[in-house]
Chains A and B, each alone.
Chain A
C-alpha cells in the first residue's frame, strides 16, 4: 500500500484513462462504419430486378460499381439521397455501374417510389430473401458500397449519400467526380 497521500494518485490513474476511453468513443462517426469487406472481393450474387431482368455480380466485372441498398419506406433518408444517385447515373453512368438493391421492400412500393422521385434506369434487385444484404453485412437502408473495377470493395457509407460522401466513395474506386 503506498504511504500517505500518494495512494490518492490511484484515483486519477483509474479515472483518467477510463474517461478518455469513453469520451473517445463519443467522437466516432457512426456513418463511417468500417466494413470487414473493405479490401476484399465483392461476394457474388444473382437476383431478379424490379423489371424482371436477371442480374448477377459478374455483370459488374471490368467497371467500378456503386451498390446502393434502399427501400421505399426509408423516409426521409432514401428520398434525400435519391437526387445524388440520379446525378451519379447522369454524370458517370458510362464509367461505372450503379445498382440498387431493395432492402426488405415490396416491389410495387419500390416502383411507386421510383415513379414519384425519378427512375434513373439502373437495375434494382429485389433481394426478396435478404441474402444479398446478409452477404454484404448490411444493417439497414440506406447503405452504399463502392467497388473498384477489379471487383474489390473499397468503401462503404451508412446513411444517406451526400456530395461529400459520394465524392469520397468515387475517389476510392478511381472515378473522378
Chain B
C-alpha cells in the first residue's frame, strides 16, 4: 500500500494541475453586454437582503444597482471598472467573492504542502535501515528509537 501512495499522490496532483491549466487556458467566448451585466450582478451583494446577489434579488436597491450596471457598461466602462464603482460606494463588502485571485490558490497551496509533507515522511521511512526482526541483534535505527522513547518517558 505504501508503495502505491507516492504514484497515487503524484497522479492526483498532475490531474489537478491539468484541470487548472484547462480551466485557465480555455478560450471563453466574448460575452454580450447583457451577459456581462448579469455576471457582474451575480458577483455583487444585494445591499438590503440576506445572502443574495443583486442578480437574484427583487428589492428596489438591487434593481437600482442592475440599472446602474447597465448604464455604466453602455457608457463603455469595463466590467472591472463597474465593480470598483460599487466598491468605492459600499466598500469591498459588496463583493460576494474575494477580489484577489491569490486567495483561490490557497487550497492548491495546501494540497501541495500536504503532498510535500507526505512525500518527505514516506521518503524518511524508506531511506532508514529496516527495523531488525524480533530476536535479531539491535541496529542503529532500533537504538535511536529506544533513545527517543526513553527521552519522552523522562520528559
In the assembled complex, the Cα of A118 lies from the Cα of B7 at a distance in Å of 78
Contacts A3-B148, A4-B152, A131-B68; is A137 near B91 (CB within 8 Å)? yes
CA distance A122 to B27 in the complex (A): 56
In the complex, B15 has a CB within 8 A of chain A: no
Q: Give Cα distance in the complex from A130 to B54, angstroms.
A: 14
Q: Is the CB of B60 within 8 A of A137?
A: no
| Chain B residues whose CB sits within 8 angstroms of the CB of A129 once the complex forms | 64, 67
Are B67 and A137 interface neighbours, CB within 8 A? no
Contacts of B89 in A (CB 8 A): 36-37, 43, 134-137
Instruction: Decide if B60 touches A104 in the complex (CB within 8 Å).
Output: yes
Closest residue of chain A to B149 (Cβ to Cβ) is A4
- Residue of A4, A34, A135 contacting most chain B CB atoms (<10 Å): A4
Known interface pairs A4-B151, A5-B155, A129-B64; A137-B59 also in contact (CB < 8 Å): no
What is the bound-complex CA distance between A35 and B88, given in angstroms? 9
Instruction: Please provide the chain B residues from 35 to 49 with a CB less than 8 Å away from any CB of chain A in the complex.
Output: 47-48
CB of A139 within 8 A of CB of B68, answer no
A4 touches B48 (CB 8 A): no
- Contact in complex: B152, A5 (CB < 8 Å): yes
Give the Cβ gap from A100 to chain B, nearest Cβ, in Å: 17
Interface hub of A4, A129, A134 (most chain B Cβ within 10 A): A134
Q: Are B47 and A140 in contact (CB under 8 A)?
A: yes
Is A139 in contact with B67, judged by CB distance below 8 angstroms?
no
Report the minimum CB–CB distance from B50 to chain A (whole Å). 11
- What is the CA–CA distance of A131 and B47 in the complex, to the nearest angstrom? 13
Q: For residue B90, which residues in chain A have a CB less than 8 angstroms away from its CB?
A: 36, 137, 139
A33 to B102, CA, bound (A): 27
In the bound complex, CA of A133 to CA of B63 (Å): 12
Contact mask for chain B residues 53-73; partner A; CB cutoff 8 A; 1 contact, 0 none: 000000111011101100000
Which chain A residues (1-19) contact chain B, with CB distance < 8 Å? 3-5
Contact flag A139-B152 (CB < 8 Å), given A34-B91, A130-B60, A133-B61? no
Tell whether A110 is near chain B: CB-to-CB under 8 Å.
no
B60 near A138 with CB under 8 A, answer no
Which chain B residue has the least Cβ–Cβ distance from A43? B89
Add 4 more A-B contacts to A43-B89, A134-B65, A139-B48 (CB < 8 A). A36-B91, A40-B88, A137-B91, A137-B94
Can you identify 21 A-B contacts, CB atoms within 8 angstroms?
A3-B151, A34-B91, A36-B88, A36-B89, A36-B90, A37-B88, A40-B88, A104-B59, A129-B67, A133-B47, A134-B64, A134-B68, A134-B86, A136-B89, A137-B47, A137-B89, A137-B91, A138-B47, A138-B61, A139-B48, A140-B47
